[in-house]
Homo-oligomer: A and B are copies of this chain.
Amino acid sequence: MKSHTSAGPDSAVSANPNGRVPSHKVYVAVEHRDLGGRVTELRVPARRIHLAGEPGVLDVYDTSGPQGFDPRVGLPKLRADWVKRRLERGDTNLSQMHYARRGVVTEEMVFAAAREGVDPEFVRSEIAAGRAILPANVHHPELEPMVIGRNFLVKINANIGNSAVSSSIDDEVEKLRWSVRWGADTIMDLSTGRDIHETREWILRNSPVPVGTVPIYQCLEKVKGKIEDLSIELFLETLEEQAKQGVDYFTIHAGVRLAHVPLTAKRLTGIVSRGGSILAKWCLAHHKENFLYTHFEEICALRKRYDVSFSLGDGLRPGSIHDANDAAQFAELDTLGELTEVAWKHDVQVMIEGPGHVPMHLIKENVDRQMAVCKEAPFYTLGPLTTDIAPGYDHITSAIGAAMIGWFGTAMLCYVTPKEHLGLPDKEDVKQGVIAYKIAAHAADLAKGHRGAQARDDALSRARFEFRWEDQFDLGLDPETARAYHDETLPADGAKTAHFCSMCGPQFCSMRITEDVRKFAAEKGIEDQEAVAAGLREKSEQFRAVGGELYVPVRSPESHG
């Protein structure tokens, strides 16, 4: 695999003060040979961080997409030719799962595999088994393909979208770019206001990541909010409209069945999912079964023509610690398991949405049940929030639950911002939500022992131990903030290199003794333990010889110790 740097700037970091460009985008060239023997060169993005010390460079997963394009024009159509060839062949089921099950490794699978650092055949087999999805509508050619499944890196979703009260189309495109800059793997457009179709068009043409929607919202706009006027005909027409635009996954609340609604009667917080409450109310108004459930096969038939993945919504998820893991929630989950098998019959890709508000001791049951009932289809959860008592800080109450549920096997985590329960997130809230969830997802990757995940932690900790401040900042999730915090205490540029060492003294710091002992052992070729013991005796003499200068690391709250 050869690699060359990109023309476009890398928006994911800013140049650091010492002039050095800390990181930039690289595209790794990967060759793909298709069934017809045709060879395509895929250019797979990564962000390359340049370091003053070991390991020299570190490539990290990059979601920011091609840079410097006019939003009116949109992003380059990376996948256009791949899809064109499939249509020329007359393929009718364009689902990645359909190809996977027929043993076909698509360009999308090769692309996603390269980003994950795994064999394309492994991506194909996980999709074929239903353990992973590759959301990629044939009408979203701007997409940089990625894969969602518990045997891959844990992904995160950011919700954007305008509403009656809020923002303009430009704001939403800016929120999209901002979300992927900080690391969102997918975004959901939850727009509900006017211009819902046009807003979605702008977002899709400028999105390098999969875009999800909740189509029932637009249906409601079409019936002017009269829930009882909703119908399957209107719904299918709306799905077709959005599928043609290129939406990669639809949240469908087909699991909210008439018989489940009474199970919410004893809840503290009833039904908190907007889509769930809409369908519950349709069922009650007509005293009929949910039309999404009764017409599920038709919905599958439509989806496979575009390859729109299912995100089976948890309309009855708990909205409070009190309601966690209750009968209503698990009754709906059982129905989602049933629907998963129907979708798979059509080779349509499926992931399953999960809660919500769950105390730590009840989190694992959610994953275990979902895996059993939904046959290991990828799980996609909102947090969960592990307590209800911190409005204004729910990115933290939920990052705790998200990290744990990710470790237990959840494939994608839907972010929660500090504004949760209080208002609509602005740009800063989006950033805070994305970063809290990048932390949760990475902590989960570490706990799962995901191959290569720890390389970034090790590189950063080595930089920290060697006082390479700029490297430490550049390896972090938010270099600007880390640098700004350091500047508050020690603004001098010199402090970025000299500070610790000046307190430590060149003769004697724990880094030095570690090195010396290793050198000693290598020369003498003896056991470390002896080497160390011997080394320490030498050290103690040398130490007194030089007057035993003080080694004390700078005090930080960590030194409660």
Contacts and interface: CB of A to CB of B under 8 A. Distances in A.
B382 A558 contact: yes
A454 B322 contact: yes
Interface in A272-307: 272-278, 280-281, 284-287
B457 A274 contact: no
A361 interface: yes
Interface string A386-397: 111111110111
Nearest to A383: B558
A68 interface: no
A536 B262 contact: yes
A342 interface: no
A416 B558 CA distance: 7
Contact of A281 (B258, B425, B476, B508): B508
A259 B75 CA distance: 61
Contacts of A390: 435, 438-439, 476-478
Interface stretch (A1-9, A85-93, A202-210, A220-228): A220-228
B286 A540 contact: yes
B481 A273 contact: no
Contact of A359 (B165, B314, B443): B443
B287 A537 contact: yes
A353 interface: yes
Nearest to A487: B423
A261 to B, nearest CB: 7
A379 interface: no
A553 B274 contact: yes
Contact of A551 (B277, B322, B414): B277
Interface in A455-489: 456-458, 460-462, 464-465, 472-473, 475-478, 481-482, 485-486, 488-489
A421 B475 CA distance: 14
A548 B226 contact: yes
In the A-B complex, the 5 residue pairs with the smallest Cβ-Cβ separation, listed nearest first, are A262-B532, A423-B489, A270-B510, A320-B461, A360-B447
Interface of A: 157, 159, 161, 163, 165-166, 188, 190, 192, 212, 214, 220, 225-228, 251, 253, 258, 261-262, 264-278, 280-281, 284-287, 313-315, 317, 319-322, 353, 357, 359-361, 382, 386-393, 395-397, 399-400, 403-404, 407, 414-426, 433, 435-436, 438-440, 442-444, 446-449, 454, 456-458, 460-462, 464-465, 472-473, 475-478, 481-482, 485-486, 488-490, 508, 510-511, 513-514, 517-518, 528-529, 532-533, 535-537, 539-540, 543-544, 548, 550-553, 555-561
